[in-house]
A = this chain, B = another copy of it.
Amino acid sequence: MPTSTWERLPQARRAAVISAAEAEFAEHGFSGGSLNVIAREAGVAKGSLFQYFHDKVDLYSYLSERASTRIRGDMEPVIASLPWQTDFFGAFEDLTVAWVAYFRSHPLELAMTVAVNLEPDRSARTAVRRVANEHYLSVLEPLLRTAKDSGALRPDADIEAFLSLLLVLLPHVAVAPSSPGLDPVLGLSSPDHDDQVAAAKRLVAVLRAAFEPAPVGVA
């Protein structure tokens, strides 16, 4: 949590610190990011950073929380616009496509997502992932519950397993395109956006096969 000083700061100064810090952490992650660089780029004294945040972890947590919130804020309208009621897995596929496109056009959010997911320092990682996961869950869980209640998922669908998978797959789908070697099979790590989208769709298809109600046979 930032200090009270931070809250009282002129907006311009806050913005300078935030953008310098985001850039730095996005590029080098938490452990690799340098407060020296952040201060220099933000045009503030090194000591000032410590007037605003208790320590490096505090600053990083603040930023990753911000990024999570921003990503969520950007995605929620998209989600709201999709036809979950009438075509759940169609909507889900659309969401996935939007998700891939989002990170392609939001390098900063992508970089923060990468940093959060790859943070090597255990306690920093635990802290930031927990926060990120809470965001994912509070968006996704109601979606799945409603879907199940409305019959868009199998009656015996294991919603928790579904959520748990999404907690792994969504960051993966976000990160893989920028990390060659991560997905050598489907092409999620291909530089070509269409390949990425195609790959993501094939993953969604698996989820559909697993959770969609069986078609009613006539026989």
Which positions in A face B, CB cutoff 8 Å?
28-32, 115, 117-122, 125-127, 129-130, 133-134, 137, 158, 160-165, 167-169, 172, 179-186, 188, 199, 202-203, 205-207, 209-211, 214, 217, 219
B130 touches A206 (CB 8 A): no
Q: Which residue of B lies closest to A169 (CB)?
A: B168
Contact of A118 among B125, B163, B168 (CB under 8 A): B125
In the complex the two chains form, what is the Cα distance from A169 to B164 in whole Å? Answer: 11
Contact B184 A130 (CB under 8 A): yes
Given contacts A125-B181, A161-B186, A168-B172, 9 further A-B contacts (CB under 8 A): A30-B120, A119-B120, A126-B182, A127-B181, A164-B185, A164-B186, A167-B185, A168-B169, A209-B211
16 pairs of residues in contact across A and B, judged by CB atoms under 8 Å: A117-B118, A119-B120, A122-B179, A125-B181, A129-B179, A130-B184, A158-B202, A158-B205, A161-B205, A163-B185, A164-B188, A164-B202, A165-B203, A167-B185, A209-B209, A214-B214
